[in-house]
Chain A
């Protein structure tokens, strides 16, 4: 993945700062609670939700199981429909391809539809280095770009900003990028949307090159699908002469019919709407309607490493709806930036360490950025068992073991800093296998309970730094049970 977030501190450090930011916590709490209730209503309208979810899971699993076949079929279909397909094993290659395609047009600016894949590879920075200016056109992306900020949510990258902050960014920055914000702009959302409309319109009308991602790619027909709300996507997809799409290889689905599942589950999961305002589908190039040249860049960038992991590969089912972020108690408090990746929240905690590996401090800490409450799994429209993958990745971080990095089999060494945890687990294993020792230990703990410290000493301090130590009862449960028969006779 890109270097955008290199040097991020580990999750606990970044999160500790974030939870002390009262504005951030207020903004996140307001936004996530608003959307939670709406999503529940939108999902509740469909009596067959569980079956749609299961069908979505099956379609994605089947596709991943035969991914090579469907990618080749997609390439054939797109080519037959007049498009050109490129393959990129990593971010650098994808950036090189897109930059060369833009330069070949002779243009020095592009308009962009919101796309996670291009954020992941750091395309804007790569283009900038080659003298090409990339304009983000999604409202939230615009807020992030103008504010020289980082995205903090998959669907709404500026979720950490409230309306007042957005107004300030517009007033301060729009002039440097093009049309300035209207005089007397207030923080009314309708006025802010109007300011974005005016600011971006001139860019849409003169754009010769558009860059987009894809929500879905249909192998049998070569059709790409972009789901959006504002119409900025439609502008970028239809007005320029050249269109370049960058999409992860896991975005392919076998058939046109598969869209009947995802076009029901995605909008209701993400913006909690029956249907998002605009969805565009296109197949290659069309006669005199839209771009005359269409390029599709198929991106690996760590996805095949995730695919090689029997437990972790389910994360590739993700359709980027962000429902898991909106329900997550950890995300709600820590915010998206603490995850140090363009993919924050629960899905980011399982995706980033698989795409980037667990070598860096931030990636090794992400599997621990969860209380394992399971709310993310409940709402996931493709049933990714995020807690299962988190636990699996924790094991990989703490114990090491075989994995695949950049296509090569490697054996990971246990991460440093988990030695005390491993020793504690070994000791626990020994004690639990010996009932006498366990009982003696429990009784000793109960008798000395008044003397227990509130935090652990030595290497245990890191563990108790963010957790309360459990209170030890007056009497071990098994002693209580033996004495009272479960409270039936002689119970207190």
Chain B
């Protein structure tokens, strides 16, 4: 007997006392929790996102379309970033204000090559106000999962209010499970030393979020 048959057989015998529940799944589990916590205007939701991002040590900036290239240019220059990773589909204008070397996100790049790049600029799929989270799903302007991981400095542009939702349930509604997703809440951190939060381990130690309105 294969281990598959063995395990499934054990499961079925273990459940011999249980009456099957043949209702469709959506009816079998009642969900009376909230879809989002509290009622807010779109503007207030964006403010909450900014507060919660900052609370977990992300650096938050706000700007309009016209100022975006110069803001990104200033942020890269402030870090003396000589090179920047560019995901496919990133709006070309966003990097108009910097002369850092563009390193395109390619399948063939090795991790060591990525490790030599100073910064990365991406968009996102959705941002969650209640938790201060940005979610990347590899869509246009977001790139492969590893590019927002290996460089030490990540600049993420969130279009507000369009890409901002209030809550985790609202974010999941917008995401396609078939696409790999990365949920980011502040820079890399750990609670492993005396259960106290310290920022800065393996992921980018500096996370800058630009709320583009």
Contact = CB atoms under 8 A, between A and B. Distances in A.
Interface of A: 27, 30-32, 34-35, 45-48, 51-52, 54-55, 58-59, 62, 65-68, 71-72, 81, 86-89, 93, 137-140, 143, 155-156, 158-159, 162-163, 166, 189-190, 192-194, 196-197, 200-201, 204-206, 218, 221, 223, 229-232, 234-235, 237-239, 249, 254-257, 259-261, 263-264, 271, 273-283, 286, 288-290, 298, 300, 304-305, 307-308, 310, 313, 404, 407
Interface residues of B, number: 74
Contacts of A86: 3
Interface string B170-213: 00100001111111111111111111111111111000000000
B111 A234 contact: no
Contact of A230 (B29, B145, B150, B201): B201
A156 to B, nearest CB: 5
Would you list the 3 A-B pairs with minimal beta carbon distance, nearest first? A231-B203, A231-B202, A304-B10
24 contacts: A47-B37, A51-B32, A58-B29, A66-B20, A67-B15, A68-B8, A93-B3, A156-B191, A190-B198, A190-B199, A197-B202, A229-B201, A230-B188, A232-B202, A235-B149, A259-B168, A264-B168, A271-B195, A274-B56, A281-B177, A290-B144, A304-B13, A305-B10, A307-B11
Nearest to B5: A87
Contacts of B32: 51, 54-55
A239 to B, nearest CB: 5
Contacts, number: 263
A234 B203 contact: yes
A238 B149 contact: yes
Nearest to A271: B191
A264 B184 CA distance: 14
B79 to A, nearest CB: 17
Given A87-B3, A139-B190, A274-B131, A68 B146 contact: no
A87 B6 CA distance: 9
A465 to B, nearest CB: 32
B199 to A, nearest CB: 8
A249 B6 CA distance: 13
A20 to B, nearest CB: 21
B43 interface: no
Interface in B123-145: 128, 130-133, 138, 144-145
B11 A67 contact: yes
Contact of B177 (A158, A221, A277): A221
A416 B15 CA distance: 31
B33 A55 contact: yes
Contacts of B107: 288
A382 B201 CA distance: 30
Contacts of B191: 35, 155-156, 229, 271
Contacts of B203: 230-231, 234, 277-278
Contacts of A46: 37
Contacts of A163: 193-194
Contacts of B172: 256-257, 259-260, 263
Contact of A192 (B2, B25, B111, B193): B193
B39 interface: no
B9 interface: yes
A271 to B, nearest CB: 5
Nearest to B194: A31
B8 A55 contact: no
B179 to A, nearest CB: 7
Given A238-B145, A261-B33, A65 B18 contact: yes
Given A89-B6, A404-B14, A277 B185 contact: yes
B146 A290 contact: yes
B195 to A, nearest CB: 4
B11 A71 contact: yes
A155 B194 CA distance: 12
B117 to A, nearest CB: 13
